[in-house]
Homo-oligomer: A and B are copies of this chain.
Amino acid sequence: MLQVGITGYGTIGKRVADAVRLQPDMAVAGVAKTTPNYEAESAVRRGYPLYVAGDGADAFRAAGMDVAGDLEDLVTASDVIVDATPSGVGARNAELYARYGVPAIFQGGEAADLVDASFNARANYDDAAGADAVRVVSCNTTGLARLLAPLDEAYGIEKARVTLIRRGGDPGQTGRGPINDVLPNPVELPSHHGPDVQTVIPGLEIDTLGVKVPATLMHTHSVNVTLQSEPDADDVRELLGGESRLFLVPGRAGIDGAGKLKDFAADAGRPRGDVWENCVWADSIAVRGRDLYCFQAIHQESDVVPENVDAIRAITGSATAAESVATTDEVLGMGLGDLLSGTVRRAPSAATGIVGDD
């Protein structure tokens, strides 16, 4: 039973803890947090040993929460650490993990050169073998890697061009914007996502552009991939439909955006309404010569959670990629598409006639 310590118990950390707890081969050694806020309360309710990072232990005790120790205590109690602290904090913690020889998994907010390997379960699971530190790439990069890896294997990718329409902030990030605007962000090419995808799919030709919009629920990607051979759209649907972490949204489901995706996930009983899968609109998959297009939505709060679980097995060498992904998916209940009966509706041929008021 792998003892997993989780430092940082915010958006990602609390989800990873809950996912780890469900795995047959893992246990939560404890979670580390800096402030005794509502999320710390939820860790206590779940029975996770609470370690205090920094010098706020008295504040936790004053709030009536038992403190199991400090960050160093958690590291020594753990076989592996998942660091889900805010961007930059992981880099400061890395020396501590290394000093105790505890393998560590960082998040996409840390620089790629902090670790031995960047990680995506679908694209490069085996690169984590024997590493002291790996980095689960960010939500958007994870989403791109899951989509592009099977396309690259099946058809060869000549070049991918993706516009990432990014949520301004998470639902709880009340201080972020924009308000009523669309911001090119960054205004200069490339956004970090393209080079980041190349850390898990080396040699991939990809240009990415980012904008930020006043939405909080999910990111949306407008994807173009020029393939090395001409695909058939139905074949692509079948290929992507066979990927366990891609949810091909059928037209008949009546799901037009992130709001309904989240509602569907909540109806399905998903914890926190999480959507771990890439959500690819089946009807958006279109082929023009060797150009493939589609839209996908990415839940920034949760799509990296199964990847963190797999990274724990990968870095400790306790399972192969196939074994780990199968276990993670089974235990979590991956596969929103399986909840919909019948088959995915095929896209009708494109409408003719040009009418539009904008």
Q: Enumerate chain A interface residues (CB-CB to B < 8 A).
A: 86-87, 107-113, 138-141, 159, 161, 163, 165-167, 178, 180-185, 187-193, 195-196, 199, 207, 209, 211, 213-220, 222, 224, 251, 256-259, 281, 283-284, 286, 288, 291, 293, 295, 297, 300, 347-348, 350-358
Contacts and interface: CB of A to CB of B under 8 A. Distances in A.
A111 B295 contact: no
Contacts of A297: 182
B214 A214 contact: yes
B189 A112 contact: no
A163 B166 contact: no
Given A187-B284, A222-B209, A358 B139 contact: yes
Stoichiometry, as copies per complex, reads: 2
B358 A281 contact: no
Given A108-B356, A163-B163, A189-B284, 11 more contacts: A138-B357, A166-B358, A178-B257, A182-B213, A182-B220, A182-B257, A182-B297, A192-B356, A209-B295, A211-B220, A211-B222
A101 B201 CA distance: 64
A123 B189 CA distance: 28
Nearest 3 pairs between A and B by C-beta?
A189-B286, A109-B357, A163-B222
A220 B213 CA distance: 11
Contacts of A196: 354, 356
B358 A219 contact: yes
A87 B352 CA distance: 17
Contact of A192 (B111, B167, B355): B355
A177 to B, nearest CB: 10
Residue of A139, A209, A295, A354 with most partner-chain B CB within 10 A: A354
B354 A293 contact: no
Contacts of A215: 180-182, 213-214
A210 B218 CA distance: 17
Contacts of A288: 189, 207
Nearest to A88: B355
B110 A256 contact: no
